[in-house]
Amino acid sequence: MSVVDDQKTFGRARLSFANEADIDEFVTTLERYERGELTPDQWRAFRLVRGTYGQRQAADAQMLRVKIPQGVLASEQLDALADVGERYSRGFGHITTRQNVQFHFVKLHDVEAAMHRLADAGMTTREACGNSVRNITACPYAGVAADERFDVTPYAEALTRFLLRHPLSSTLPRKFKVAFEGCETDHIATGVNDLGFRAVVGPDGGRGFRVTAGGGTAIMTTSAGLLHEFLPASEILRAAEAVLRVFKRLGDYEHKQRNRMKFMIKTLGWTRWREEYDRELTSCRLRGQVPTLEVEPPATEARPEWVKDSSPSVGHVASRVAAGRISGPGITPVIVPMLQVGDDAYARWRVTNVRPQKQFGYVMAIAAVPLGDLTSDQMRVIGELARAYGDGTIRVTADQNLLFRWINACDVRQLYRRLAAAGLGLAESGTVADVTSCPGAETCRLAVTQSRGLGRLLEEQLRARPDLIAAADGARIKISGCPNGCGLHHIATFGFQGSVRRLGSRAVPQYFVMIGGGAHDRGASFGRLAAKIPARRVPQVVERLIDLYAADHQAGETATTFFGRVELDVVKARLADLEKLLPGDAVATDFIDLAEAAEFAPEVMDGECSA
């Protein structure tokens, strides 16, 4: 049964996204591959669409990506994710910038068992990777934000179900990304998606969307163009199908480096592409091939009415997360349970991590997750706290954090004490210390540098400098280990892109420093290249950029606005001495990437993103 058949499933009580036939097909196809009936390329294309991505390690190591539509996770789904991390991975999972959860170092023959456990809780890996319609993201504040026009979650969920396993969804020239936003502020960066939907209320009170198309980052940063100023909400299935039909028919299947939809639009020209889209949209309407979306969900979420679970004690939470088993290789979470937290720490956390809901008496609370890494025991605790203090669900954010909703204002301190006991009580959410990073060269075949190593270093140093956090005034740091931008560094106040510098016969890990990027109401702006800095000097770069902003910004000017307009030569001059590295100046650590022990030897392998 489709979600559109039963409106009661919208929101927190969802029908399953899983299908056991997907798992059976995975097993059968793996057996065919192992018998030699499929080529490696055929097998790779198949498993990617099923969420199984090969890592850079030569041994049997897969990344398994789980789709979390709109970032919504029920407590029982957190339990399932915890089991997968504990049984088949390293004891923890990784939150991505597209509201997925992924596990690394999974054995190929463990994938089936992991899929079954996920399916038990209604989750799927179908079309999480490969040339497919990827996870459809949505604003994590949808349904409870004071400035939203209406709750976009039901519409994003309906489009998810329409496109999941759709005949077009896994036969595209390249991956295809969709995002929904209902607030005045674009929290989900619709402008860098292939399709972006921004909620709009028409003059007659009817719901619709401002629709944009063709956005993206990587080697050709593009802010999405306007497709509809107002598209009735009932038409979103047809609009999405029409765009996919054009992409399927006219997209480039030959050139892996330029086969995203933005390249097709550039080649055709916006006018020609729009004509093709309009023809397909008319066909969808006239022939009745694609239905209208006939739903009338409420403007906001309903208050949870059920009896909440009792809360685990602070000591019980701390003992469980401390006893959890985590293994390498790579960077692993550092769990520091806090049993006693003072008034000052709580007050700071409440300022940065808590915001009011539109519903009187309730608040949202963010659990900051360094590097997006969450242990299995932490996942289980999060689920229990969601049942005890919230509505039984949490939202995964694009900043790699977790959002609790429907917290009674009088319960906030009790929730905080338990988050701190779980090692998740860090303040500074949404500040410069809340760093976003892709997995980098730890596992990714395309990455050049260990972006997670830089991410951890910057977080540790910034959290030790509250003066810098305050002076940065909401600046954001995002890091990617290569130009593809999975860490979204192109749309960060301070973006860092991994690279390599040759110093004689040796290699030095370095980062391109990009300034002034961000998502905004009409699209996205992209960072400008200001310097190329050896990896271990990046913390000095951040400090100098914050000092520059503090000294030169205008009254009321945000850091992102300032770095978007400041003369590039001014920034370059400020960083010039850090950029310079001569053979006689280099020290031994310059040749070792962050979080590594051996000398830096970059190896960019054939990626699987476009297989």
Burial class (CB in 10 A: 0-12, 13-18, 19+), 572: middle
The per-residue pLDDT for 12 is: 64
Pair of tokens at residue 523: 């699209």
pLDDT grade, residue 609 (50/70/90)?
Answer: low
The per-residue pLDDT for 14 is: 85
List, in order, residues 6 or more apart from 464 with CB less than 8 Å away: none
For residue 179, the cross-strand partners are 137, 196
Q: Please determine, for residue 521, whether its predicted confidence score (pLDDT) is greater than 90.
A: no
* 517-520 contacts at long range (C-beta below 8 A, 24 or more positions apart): 517/489, 517/490, 517/491, 517/492, 517/493, 517/560, 517/564, 518/476, 518/491, 518/492, 518/493, 518/560, 518/564, 519/186, 519/188, 519/189, 519/190, 519/191, 519/192, 519/491, 520/186, 520/191
Cβ–Cβ under 8 Å, residues 374 and 350 = no
The per-residue pLDDT for 610 is: 55
The DSSP string of 486-509 is TT-GGGSSEEEEEEEEEETTEEEE
What are the chain's domains?
A: 3-72+88-120 (3.90.480.20), 137-286 (3.30.413.10), 314-421 (3.90.480.20), 436-591 (3.30.413.10)
Q: Please determine, for residue 558, whether its predicted confidence score (pLDDT) is greater than 70.
A: yes
List, in order, residues 6 or more apart from 186 with CB less than 8 Å away: 198, 519, 520, 521
- Per-residue pLDDT of 12-57, as tens digits, reads 668 999 999 999 999 999 999 999 999 999 999 999 999 999 999 9
Q: Please determine, for residue 299, whether its predicted confidence score (pLDDT) is greater than 80.
A: no
The Cβ of residue 196 has, within 10 Å, a number of other Cβ atoms equal to: 31
The DSSP string of 13-55 is SPPP---HHHHHHHHHHHHHHHTTSS-HHHHHHHHHHTTEEE-
Cβ–Cβ under 8 Å, residues 523 and 191 = yes
List, in order, residues 6 or more apart from 563 with CB less than 8 Å away: 475, 493, 494, 515, 516, 545, 549, 571
pLDDT grade, residue 7 (50/70/90)?
Answer: very low
The per-residue pLDDT for 611 is: 55
DSSP reduced 3-state for 421: helix
Distance CA 497, CA 440 (A): 10
pLDDT, the chain, mean: 94
The per-residue pLDDT for 17 is: 97
Residue (of 6, 13, 12, 25) closest to 115 by Cα position = 25
For residue 211, the cross-strand partners are 197, 228
| C-alpha angle 196-198-199 in degrees, rounded to nearest 5 | 145
List, in order, residues 6 or more apart from 561 with CB less than 8 Å away: none
The per-residue pLDDT for 87 is: 98
List, in order, residues 6 or more apart from 353 with CB less than 8 Å away: 365, 366, 367, 368, 427, 429
Average pLDDT over residues 473-502: 96
Cβ–Cβ under 8 Å, residues 56 and 443 = yes
Cβ–Cβ under 8 Å, residues 261 and 248 = no
Cβ–Cβ under 8 Å, residues 435 and 459 = yes
Q: What stretches of 139-253 adopt beta strand conformation (E)?
A: 178-181, 195-201, 207-213, 225-232
116 or 6, which is more confident: 116
- Per-residue pLDDT of 71-120, as tens digits, reads 999 999 999 999 999 999 999 999 999 999 999 999 999 999 999 999 99
**pTM for the full predicted model:** 0.96
Average pLDDT over residues 188-207: 96
- Per-residue pLDDT of 325-359, as tens digits, reads 999 899 999 999 999 899 999 999 999 999 999 99
The per-residue pLDDT for 150 is: 95
Cβ–Cβ under 8 Å, residues 10 and 297 = yes
- Per-residue pLDDT of 371-430, as tens digits, reads 999 999 999 999 999 999 999 999 999 999 999 999 999 999 999 999 999 999 999 999
Q: Please determine, for residue 9, whether its predicted confidence score (pLDDT) is greater than 60.
A: no
> Within the chain, what is the greatest distance between any pair of CA atoms?
72
The per-residue pLDDT for 2 is: 37
The per-residue pLDDT for 522 is: 84
The Cβ of residue 358 has, within 10 Å, a number of other Cβ atoms equal to: 15
Pair of tokens at residue 36: 């030699």
The per-residue pLDDT for 593 is: 96
The DSSP string of 545-609 is HHHHHHHHPPTT--HHHHHHHS-HHHHHHHHHHHH---TTT--GGGGS-TT--SPP---PPPPST
Cβ–Cβ under 8 Å, residues 261 and 247 = yes
The DSSP string of 288-330 is --S--------SSPPPP-SPPPPPPPHHHHHHHHHH-----SS
The per-residue pLDDT for 301 is: 84
Q: Please determine, for residue 591, whether its predicted confidence score (pLDDT) is greater than 90.
A: yes
